[in-house]
Amino acid sequence: MRLPAMGIALFTVAVASAACGGGGDDQNLNQSGSGAGNSSGNGSGGDDGGFGSGGVTSGSGAGSGNPSSGAGPSTGAGEACATQSAQAGLQPVYLAVAFDVSGSMGMNDRPSHSKELKWDPVVAATKQFFKDPASAGLTASLTFFPGERRMCDASTYRTPDVEMTPLPSEAFGEAIDDVTPANDDDWGTSTPTAFVVDGTVTFIKAQRQENPGKYALVLVTDGYPQRCSRDADSIEAVVRRVEGAHQDNVPTYVIGVANPPEDEPGNVDNLRDIAVAGGTGKAFIIETGNPDATATAFRAAIDEIRGAAVSCTVAIPAAPDGRTFDKQRVRVTYTSGGGQPKAVAYDQECASADAWRYDNPSNPTQIELCESVCGAIQSDPQASLGVDFTCEDVIDIPQ
């Protein structure tokens, strides 16, 4: 089944035509009407962390040759006499969530296995994320471990309990309710983490062949691998697997559910090694002991993962009217929601965090946002990026 290509937000790319001053195309100069028109389709991204590019619309440009009445802001130097619009959709984001249902999460046989302090608040926050309207644009799957049969076998986890499903969705909460043990004696005791990672990554790779996009593994667990073969299921074995996945452009995010502080507080220390190997830098360690605080911290971790999954690279759209792209005649603006656009400076070295650069200044194909602009995009689902093609040089790149 081919999944819908969905992104967290859309970047609106304003493309100015070649007609400037008195030397442009008379047809463009005499266009009537205003506004950008409607975009004709969303882009679909590849699996390399960039954004897909959408089609150029046929919307009307500036009325009667007045550049200020066209779609998009005036760009100062090299103002356009007519404007067309294109739309570049964010690369669709797919999260494969692997969720620990081992006894230590809530079988109540000891204080560190308290269902009230661990399972209940974590589950409440997880269910909220999957049904939250703010999760719209994400697609996710859910795999529980350990499995009921062949727990120490990667093939057990190649088919998730909830297939890739656009969010928000109630299906995930229903699946969590179904898997929650009815009583303390029904909890599983194994934590086959290495096999879960292996099987889930295999699932991701198969999905990516059919539905290109940006994929990530989200591992939710409260401790070390155990009960399977020690050599095959260890932190070191998990690290090797997520390193391989990261090399294949599948990062791993780790949410570690700590034991209550009064009982074995060091149960999640080595989970940080998994996050580093998975290319995400840190594990999100969720403290327990206060259910409300645990649920809040878990939601914050998920929100940060949701934002980090957004790439800060956008493909340069084709210049309008068949004109040749000129890398020195590009201006970038950033808009938050319905606010006024703000100019973003060009800085190929990203010495200024509030800037943008080309992926390859000699032969650019993509715009890359530097740190501050990237962070703003990741935290603002209503963000838009404007790209104006001007008629005069506005940035200086050595030829």
The tens digit of pLDDT for each residue in 228-272 reads 887 788 999 999 999 999 999 999 999 999 988 776 666 788 899
How high is the mean pLDDT of the chain? 77
Q: CB of 259 within 8 A of CB of 252? A: no
Q: CB of 264 within 8 A of CB of 275? A: no
Domain end, chosen from 292, 308, 324, is at: 308
- Does 5 reside within a domain? no
Residues 170 and 227 in one domain: yes
**pLDDT at position 14 over 90:** no
- Does 396 reside within a domain? no
- Does 2 reside within a domain? no
Domain end, chosen from 308, 333, 355, is at: 308
**pLDDT at position 10 over 60:** no
Instruction: Say what the pTM is.
Output: 0.67
- Does 3 reside within a domain? no
Domain end, chosen from 238, 273, 308, is at: 308
Q: What is the pLDDT of residues 43-83, one digit of tens each?
A: 333 333 332 333 222 233 333 333 333 333 333 444 443 44
Residues 100 and 135 in one domain: yes
Residues 330 and 243 in one domain: no
Averaged pLDDT, 329-341: 80
Residues 339 and 378 in one domain: yes
Residues 326 and 291 in one domain: no
Band (pLDDT 50/70/90 cuts) for residue 311 is low
Band (pLDDT 50/70/90 cuts) for residue 391 is confident
Predicted pLDDT of residue 124:
93
- Does 1 reside within a domain? no
Residues 208 and 300 in one domain: yes
Predicted pLDDT of residue 155:
95
Residues 122 and 23 in one domain: no
Q: CB of 394 within 8 A of CB of 75? A: yes
Report residue 341 as tokens.
């656009």
Q: What is the pLDDT of residues 121-145, one digit of tens each?
A: 999 999 999 998 878 778 999 999 9
DSSP characters for 338-387? TS--EEEEE-TT--SSSEEEES-TTS--EEEE-HHHHHHHHH-TT-EEEE
- Does 330 reside within a domain? yes
d(CA 238, CA 198): 8
Q: Which helix (H) or strand (E) holds 99?
A: strand 93-100
Residues 133 and 270 in one domain: yes
d(CA 126, CA 302): 8
- Does 394 reside within a domain? no
Q: CB of 371 within 8 A of CB of 303? A: no
Judged by average pLDDT, the poorest of 16-20, 110-114, 116-120 is: 16-20
Residues 154 and 55 in one domain: no
Predicted pLDDT of residue 4:
44
Q: Does residue 40 or residue 86 have the better pLDDT?
A: 86
SS3 97: strand
- Helix, strand and coil percent figures for the chain, each rounded to 5: 30, 20, 50
Q: CB of 385 within 8 A of CB of 332? A: yes
- Does 156 reside within a domain? yes
Residues 199 and 333 in one domain: no
d(CA 313, CA 359): 9
**pLDDT at position 359 over 80:** yes
d(CA 368, CA 354): 11
Q: Which domain range does residue 225 map to?
A: 93-308
Sheet bearing 93-100, strands edge to edge: 162-166, 138-145, 93-100, 214-221, 252-257, 284-286
Residues 47 and 24 in one domain: yes
Q: CB of 385 within 8 A of CB of 377? A: yes
Q: What is the pLDDT of residues 150-181, one digit of tens each?
A: 899 999 999 999 999 999 999 999 999 999 99
**pLDDT at position 388 over 90:** no
**What pairs with residue 145 in β-bridges?**
100
Residues 120 and 142 in one domain: yes
Domain count, the chain: 2
The CATH code of the domain that includes 221 is: 3.40.50.410
d(CA 196, CA 232): 12
